[in-house]
Structure 1
């Protein structure tokens, strides 16, 4: 009898011990469970305004390691970011910048920066150019050498490059428009739009075109020798002129160049005649569109 009671008592103790062990493990698990992941914390507010070209801040708390990157993936250039331990320095290159800070938790925090320094305020340039000429423009800005961001070129009205003096060269190719972005060594971006006025190549002794009263039409003379002149004196004016061989600081005429102003007249067309030193003649007929 005592053996039966003892065996039952022993079995009850085993069950109680197992129950207490299970409860203890469950309680420990609940007590020591890791907290939910949180993003890094910074030493600055999430929105920052500065008049300086750079900012600095500390990443106060983070899990594992952290990285800082430009959140704008569509930006043409990115700011320079230097990290030393938990200290971050950023060389700004835009008026508005958003930084993304991520650690091992993969939970990002964003820092929005508004820079009011005048060097970072975007500038747009509009250049209007005659057909048949090459122009040079001193629109250098910012730090170091400027360069053209080739992938931003839109349109084929002109060929653009920057020469050894840092001047922007624009060679007109055809009437129309084109645009592109410039950048300096800091990464500051400026926009340039180019418009090429109406014009034609004169490749033989006769050409017919159309124009509106008061409009200026340009022609590159691509045949015969130089030294072309308008043969009728009454049709010469400050806006009717021939440039044969002239190189200015900001303009080059690679070929003899003619500009004609469409007159205000009741006629439906007007004819201009040219002659060069070798006796070559050319006729340009302008059909006048009704105003």
Structure 2
């Protein structure tokens, strides 16, 4: 898994930008405007999902941007209700139609929903889509080590990406160690903890020392760890601030250690072992 600062090479050779735009639960029209603005200022990766309800807006912005399709990395996901081999294939067809694109760069299983016991069948569908060339890379989201182990026991393709909740208060070291062992890229959703980490004194102090913002420091930390990040925002000023993190110098080891000390195992979203169960929790915003 070779990597440069602007992109990472996935385990199948596909190049993925390391800093993209997240649009979780942003309404369709607002997502279209946000993605258009982001692409204009230099973003080349956008992360959507069926569950976000904005694939149409994202696809329209990509198509109308004037940027060659091969230069924009589009990720979407199969939702919990569509687990299983045939349902996942149908869900992909419907999502591709909503996007209005010829292919997807990265297709993920959004949640494992282990209580249904279907994510291995869903993975077989993703393997089929990849083999058919309709998806350039396939991966998972919110998978724990045991879910990954079951997937790879029966599957023939190692996931290229696992998109997980990760931020200074939830650093997921054990899971990242598993990723490293198998050549799976760690992609952080909610990398800023919905803004909840921005006022921590350690991060404020580091930002002041480096002449930047806490958000930029956190994103630079993610990049220094080798993560892909998809901070969610529809505000152009914050988009520019987030994108600027890639231009910051790598943090010194002492700063990496200082942020590492903030890990408290605190989730802001549901736990992958239970989300999707009948009595489970609501999805993250």
TM-score by length of 1: 0.25
Q: Which structure carries more helix by proportion? A: 2
Bigger CA radius of gyration: 1
Q: Which structure carries more strand by proportion? A: 1
Q: Which has the higher contact order (CA 8 A, sep 6+)?
A: 2
